[in-house]
Chain A
Amino acid sequence: MQDRPTAGELVKSVREFLEEEILPNLEDSRDEFRTRVAMNALSILERELAQEEFLLQAEHERLIRLLDEDHIAPGSLEELRERVLELNRDLAGRISSGEVPDGTLELLKQTTADKLTVASPKYLERYEE
């Protein structure tokens, strides 16, 4: 086990450094923009570190139900990632061959909303207004 700071705490410290010490001293608007993009990337990472496993498990459950697959509990996070990727490959293949399972749109909407809580929570909030 690593000592603190945790991965999330480390990322946060870098984002704060960019925000408080780098950004105010930039003069070029292009540099400023790119720094904001970098900060945004770190925010995504912070949210992902906190939520990845939970969101992947929920997506896994949904996909299994939709595709009528057997439930095999993945042994590790890495396995869970691979399994969800495979299920998505299966779903994408079915859609493209014209066999869209019932409930696909609803499932994808939920999964995409979950992706946005990590990638762009403000977009989701604004969308739902």
Chain B
Amino acid sequence: MQTEELDERLTELLGTTVEVEDVVLLGGGASKEAWKVDASTPEGGLELLVRRASGGNIYSDTLSLGQEYKVLQAAYEWGVKVPKPYGYLEDLGGREAFVMERLEGESIGRRLVRKEEFEATREALPEQLAEELCKIHAVPFERLPFLPGAQDEPAAAYNLESLERELDLLEEPHPVIELGLSWLCEHVPESHGIVLNHGDFRIGNFLVDEEDLVGVVDWEFAHLGDPAEDLGWPLVRAWRFGKDHLRLGGINEVERFLEHYNTLTEREITKEELFYWEVLGNVRWVIGSHNQAKRHLSGQERSVELAILGRLAAEVEYEILSLLERGG
């Protein structure tokens, strides 16, 4: 990415003379690039994050960057804790991108679940996460007609159909995933309506400081679905980063999170329903892992990091089977 081009684009976008001082490609997202950009303007310094398209996608229902930007904007206007969106760029070095505020905070799961300095944060997160989800699930989505997902209740039927489709596309026999899906089909819980789902609401996509949640990032999997889907996803064992006994993302117990959410939203999502969505989350993630490996195997994006996910999928399968054993 050329600094001159960034100067020009950002100047157009922000309506003031922008001079880029530093550009660094950050690690992270497999399907999107994240660039740390420091710039100066006559009005003062700017700390920006530029998100730009890169390779393929984990799931077929992934938003384009332009769509993701619109969702971020809607969430920001509704008061959800997200980075302030600055603008969308159709062409930045040949690919689409958008620019947002760079929030300061930690998002690396391994650090968040372990480091002493985040102890107070871990204690505060169950309620704070519930509060953000409550806001996200109330974001008006009429202006976001492109959102994929369920149109009719129960939303779970849509989830199951798309998981079955994704599994078929793998073109390999996966009896464990079939067994998970058949359990899910037989236990569809009560519907709680259809709302905007963040779609990847889990440790790793939360920015925190030493006290509080600072922001919810990575909106590329936003879609319409049952609110309980977003509640179950952060419980998936893969997002506990080794602190496996703490069901809410390796940071805390799940009860406070669920209770606070129910109080704020006046919904009555039960622990059993949450368990259902946790199983569904694991099935979604195991298919996602195989899809990642497939990107490598098909030559779409050669990478040992993607390749190994095909083998680590066995971890998720083991979790699915253990959950089924417990849940009957």
By a beta-carbon cutoff of 8 Å, the part of chain A in contact with chain B is 29-30, 33-34, 37-38, 40-41, 44, 85, 88-89, 91-93, 95-96, 98, 100, 104-105, 108-109, 112-113, 115-116, 118-120, 123-124, 126-127
Q: How many chain B residues have a CB neighbour from A under 8 Å? A: 26
Q: B318–A104 contact, CB under 8 A?
A: no
Q: A100–B244 contact, CB under 8 A?
A: no
Known: A88-B175, A112-B176, A116-B315. A96 touches B182 (CB 8 A): yes
Does chain A have a CB within 8 A of B181? Answer: yes
Question: What does DSSP make chain B's interface, helix, strand, loop or mixed?
Answer: helix
| Per-position binary interface string of chain B over residues 207-238, scored 1 when its CB falls under 8 Å from any chain A CB and 0 otherwise | 00000000000000000000000000000000
Closest B residue to A118 by beta carbon equals: B311
Q: B314–A115 contact, CB under 8 A?
A: yes
Q: How many angstroms between the C-alpha atoms of A124 and B319 in the bound complex? A: 10
Say how far B35's CB is from chain A's closest CB, in angstroms.
14
Known: A120-B312, A126-B244. A108 touches B325 (CB 8 A): no
Closest A residue to B309 by beta carbon equals: A37
Does chain A have a CB within 8 A of B307? Answer: yes
| Known pairs A92-B173, A92-B175 / 6 extra A-B pairs, C-beta < 8 Å | A37-B305, A93-B173, A95-B179, A95-B182, A120-B311, A120-B314
Question: Which of B304, B305, B319 is most buried by chain A, counting CB atoms within 10 A of its CB?
Answer: B304
* A115 contacts across to B, CB distance below 8 A: 314, 317
Q: Which positions 176-195 of chain B face chain A at CB distance < 8 Å? A: 176, 178-179, 181-182
Say how far B217's CB is from chain A's closest CB, in angstroms.
19
Q: How many angstroms between the C-alpha atoms of A93 and B172 in the bound complex? A: 11
Does chain A have a CB within 8 A of B324? Answer: yes
Does chain A have a CB within 8 A of B95? Answer: no
Say how far A34's CB is from chain B's closest CB, in angstroms.
6
Known: A38-B304, A40-B308, A85-B173. A33 touches B27 (CB 8 A): yes
Q: A124–B318 contact, CB under 8 A?
A: yes
| Per-position binary interface string of chain B over residues 23-58, scored 1 when its CB falls under 8 Å from any chain A CB and 0 otherwise | 000010000000000000000000000000000000
